[in-house]
Structure 1
């Protein structure tokens, strides 16, 4: 589906300005330890559930990490991606979100927290905490999660389609999408490193293998040997086969993603696009040298904190949902 770029920019900018001015006037900010007195065991409860789940189903780490991004880039980090719609018109029903999984894990954490400290912890904060916990569970970095978000009450299928950056985005669209949300070019390339875990359907990159410009050609930015390997897994028009985004390291959070992209083996157009900007290209080449000399883990935690502040509801805004999939 084609998206009118001017409408996309207008909608995104409007959401950002409304949320920014509202939060500024509210005078509330997120902080580490927001639930220190009201729900002191919130982080322990989340971690114990996540560790148990990932030990049994490690493939859930990537979609649960992605869920935080998919939430924050539409209406801000307000838990709106979790809401159900009886007519299938919520964010989770939008095409970019159909591959999200793990909602039941968010619900499991919420149920445990409602038992321990009812009506206190927002679903938006649970999404942020779980994103950190699954990253740690697959040997990635830890960071201090700021909390104090409130839950939104609106979830719209069209807004998700307009505001989530697609895997075929070029470097200009990527930079604009991040900058509109107060995130830097560095944040863009750092958070792209989350593709070190997870899988994708062939449909997300099939055009790069068979019909890149509509003439039956391949994407020249991809390594030809990588194209051969991908074609073996993904026949033309394949919509269902799953492929590892970071082959050989799909269940371990590390810096190998940057090594692959530098070798022109980024699975998505948006991955390859990082080579089209001097700042992103310089960062990925530096981070791909070796794991121990890399600043990727430190940078990732910092960028996740920044993303977690996007258009948040705080103070008396929004609500604390009793059930994450529906408003009170």
Structure 2
């Protein structure tokens, strides 16, 4: 029974707790925050649902999409060339691993925002943060920040809020053990 309870854990809680655990690693220099547990969740997780319900990394701020493999024209040309070099010639799928943050790939820091600010964000959805006045101001502030404190606080709030999305109520789903 104990093993069964350990195996029946909400995907959202596992993801949030895993994310928090990864950031808790002193080497990551990430923030510390509480993860809410005990939410009512569905009994089935399906790749199809994730693929259809979550925006792909190619989404931009206004939810526009480009064709697969189309280069974002705002992407820094030298960075685009370096990304092309990482892909094998004639490679026909999109599974080549690429480091999202070449400056500090194993640290949770503000380097991401500095890359987006310099038009070297890896995903169109990241680079699109510069297209909107509100998100651009945030990127500019984080890129220039001397300390990650504001970002860490905002990140903790965002992770908590995402864990509260589409929580089932009443008799729907189940509250899974943690």
Q: TM-score, normalised by structure 1?
A: 0.46
The whole-number CA distance in structure 2 between the counterparts of 1:158 and 1:126 is 19
Unpaired segments ≥5 residues, structure 1: 1-110, 175-204, 213-217
Residue in structure 2 matched with residue 152 of structure 1 by the alignment: 42
Distance 1:128 1:315 in 2: 23
On the 8 A contact 1:148/1:314 being kept in 2, the answer is no
CA distance in 1, matches of 2:149, 2:36: 25
1:35-90 CA-partner distances (Å, limit 9, x unpaired) = xxxxxxxxxxxxxxxxxxxxxxxxxxxxxxxxxxxxxxxxxxxxxxxxxxxxxxxx
TM norm structure 2? 0.80
1:290 to 136, 145, 153: 145
Task: Find the residue that maps to 1:243 and give its secondary structure.
Answer: coil
Is residue 163 of structure 1 aligned with residue 16 of structure 2?
A: no
Higher RCO (CA-CA < 8 Å; seq separation 6+) = 2
Residues paired across the two proteins, number: 170
Summarize the alignment of residues 302-321 of structure 1 with structure 2, pairs less than 5 Å apart.
302-313=157-168, 317-320=172-175
CA displacement at 1:159 relative to structure 2: 2.6
Quote the Cα distance in structure 1 between the aligned partners of 2:154 and 2:117: 19
Cα distance in 2, alignment partners of residues 234 and 119 from structure 1: 43
Say which structure is richer in helix: 1
Report the 3-state secondary structure (helix = DSSP H, G, I; strand = E; otherwise coil) of the residue aligned with 1:173.
coil
Give the equivalent residue in structure 2 for 1:123: 9
Q: CA RMSD in A?
A: 3.0
Q: In the TM superposition, what is the alpha-carbon distance from 1:119 to its structure 2 partner?
A: 4.1
Aligned CA distance change for structure 1 residues 127 and 223 (closer, same or farther; 3 Å): closer
Note if contact 1:234-1:241 (Cα within 8 Å) is conserved in structure 2. Answer: yes
Q: 1:319–1:134: structure 2 CA closer, same or farther, 3 Å change rule?
A: same
